[in-house]
Amino acid sequence: MRIGIEAQRLFRTKKHGVEIVALELIKHLQQTDKKNEYFIFVKQDADDACIRETENFRIIKLPSAPYPIWEQWLLPRAIKKYKLDVLHCTANTAPLFPGVRTVITLHDVIFLESVSFKGTAYQNFGNLYRRAVVPRAARGRELVTVSGYEQHNIAKALNIPASAVKVVHNGVSGMFAPRTDPRQLAQIRDKYALPEKFVLFFANPAPKKNTPNVLAAFAWYCRNHPDSSIKLVITDSSKTYIRQQISELKAEDILPRLQIMDYIAYNDLPFVYSLATLYLYPSLRESFGLPLLEAQACGTPVITSNISCMPEIAGEAAIFVDPYNPVSIGEAITEALHNKDAVAGLYEKGINNARLYSWEAAAQKMCDIYEQAQ
């Protein structure tokens, strides 16, 4: 069988959730499936060759173009050229006329549930594009999602039975484990100028990441614990955006307690998680929540939301909060940092919970879905 995998953004240098999921899935398909032929479609100008071709895996670089043109015109032409039997689209959308059986991974359908223009221009355009394309592209296709929570949302949004959406949980890469080598940890601490003790938070302008409430919660914590020296390390965000949020909160007094950086390289994450005292993940909405599992796998205590998919994925190995209430988040930070009993057992529970999610199992399930789709 000749299988195409749409992974347009796979080779981008700064990878986020969807790209990481595609990367790990493809890496483990390479290990699992030796009989089928795979064609991995990426953008021509991509600059991080994070996977290599093998005997039955080819990397096809298609010309760079705006995403709608790339997906609706260039990709279908490549499907025909390489005589594919099945196409797997990994990032929430697909060609309307692919000409072959298609599997679509829908990580979420937030774009179908509401229209918001609070994100960046790129995010807003992407949501409008998916809102127009996905309901049509999903008809008659094999649909896959990453959690039971999102399976229910997709079924409701598309008015289909939940059984029509298969759940394939993401996995946790084996590189995520407690890191204890003093030399390696010191190198990473120096590379990112990380403080001795810090709380870690990944922020970006997407409303679901809940950045304003996290900043309000940390401001509440700082004002209630003026003797604490712990810092909040914020990554995946710009200083301009964070300073704007701080200004709106009138919380300029906490700026010395913040360390803002742009991006942490994927291979460095296990060390950063291991160095962190606490990881904050109080999102308003996620389809799976891979970072919370990565932090758990590294033995880092996690504070996360009591809504969305987080209770399903985090299990009993996290501290849960009301993400809409900064005081709830602030009180949880206080408990985690000042009450050893609050985090007792989370180290072992987190590691054990993360072990439930395997990329090997995900790759095997996807192989089965490809066979069924043919």
List the pLDDT tens digit at each of the 374 positions of the chain: 999 999 988 887 777 889 999 999 999 999 999 999 999 999 887 667 788 899 999 999 999 898 899 999 999 999 999 999 999 999 999 999 999 999 999 999 988 876 665 666 666 777 788 889 999 999 989 999 999 999 999 999 999 999 999 999 999 999 999 999 999 999 999 999 999 999 999 998 888 999 999 999 999 999 999 999 999 999 988 899 999 999 999 999 999 999 999 889 999 999 999 999 999 999 999 999 999 999 999 999 999 999 999 999 999 999 999 999 999 999 999 999 999 888 989 999 999 999 999 999 999 999 999 999 97
Alpha carbons 52 and 256: distance in angstroms, whole number: 43
Residue bearing tokens 């914590």: 221
Alpha carbons 86 and 83: distance in angstroms, whole number: 9
Alpha carbons 318 and 349: distance in angstroms, whole number: 9
User: What's the angle, vertex CA 359, arms to CA 354 and CA 361, rounded to 5?
Assistant: 100
Q: Where are the domains of the chain?
A: 2-171+358-373, 182-354
Which of the four CATH numbers 3.40.50.2000, 3.40.50.2300, 3.40.50.1400, 2.60.40.1120 does domain 182-354 have?
3.40.50.2000
What is the second-level CATH architecture of the domain 2-171+358-373?
3-Layer(aba) Sandwich (3.40)
- Model pLDDT, residue 369: 97
Alpha carbons 181 and 196: distance in angstroms, whole number: 16
Alpha carbons 146 and 319: distance in angstroms, whole number: 22
> Considering all CA atoms of the chain, what is the largest pairwise distance in Å, rounded to the nearest integer?
66
